[in-house]
Amino acid sequence: MTSTPGLRALAAAGVAVTLHPYDYDPKADAIGLAAAHALGLDPALVLKTLMVEVDGKPACCVLPSDRQLSMKKVAAAFGGKQAEMMKPDKAERLTGFRVGGISPFGQKRAVATAFDASPMAAPNVWINAGARGLLLGIAPQDALRVTSGRALTLTP
């Protein structure tokens, strides 16, 4: 079994997950949608992890792969005035993961995390496990607990 910092963090927290490897396509326009398609999963329940900066401070947003962030809502969610996407190289240094494999679990430096509320009533969601081509299935409430995250509206 593949071990990543994300999987180790979840194991340490006593959270059971299922692993779902797939063929990662680095040329895909939307990696989360490509993963959902490859695994035959509902794109609304396959969540992507995006690193942002709110008033210059790092934060993590987790949202359905078929949705886009509202930067206005992201700024409000983290109590700021302005939000923008974090540059990929900075996101990789901060999280310890490569773009296309960023997980909200086991990041090198823990940051404030928010999940879009829309999929949080589902029994399970699928999130990157910390490696390109590997998703994990998890109960949304466990994802919130392990990340100390909040469920908020992050999308238009």
* 123 contacts 42 by C-beta, under 8 angstroms: no
Residue 139 identity (one-letter amino acid): A
Q: What is the pTM of this model?
A: 0.96
* 128 contacts 103 by C-beta, under 8 angstroms: yes
**Domain parsing of the chain, residue ranges:** 5-152
Alpha carbons 89 and 80: distance in angstroms, whole number: 23
Question: Tens place of pLDDT for every residue, the chain, 156 residues?
Answer: 579 999 999 999 999 999 999 999 988 999 999 999 999 999 999 999 999 999 999 999 999 999 999 999 999 999 999 999 999 999 999 999 999 999 999 999 999 999 999 999 999 999 999 999 999 999 999 999 999 999 999 999
Q: Quickly name the fold that domain 5-152 has.
A: YbaK protein (3.90.960)
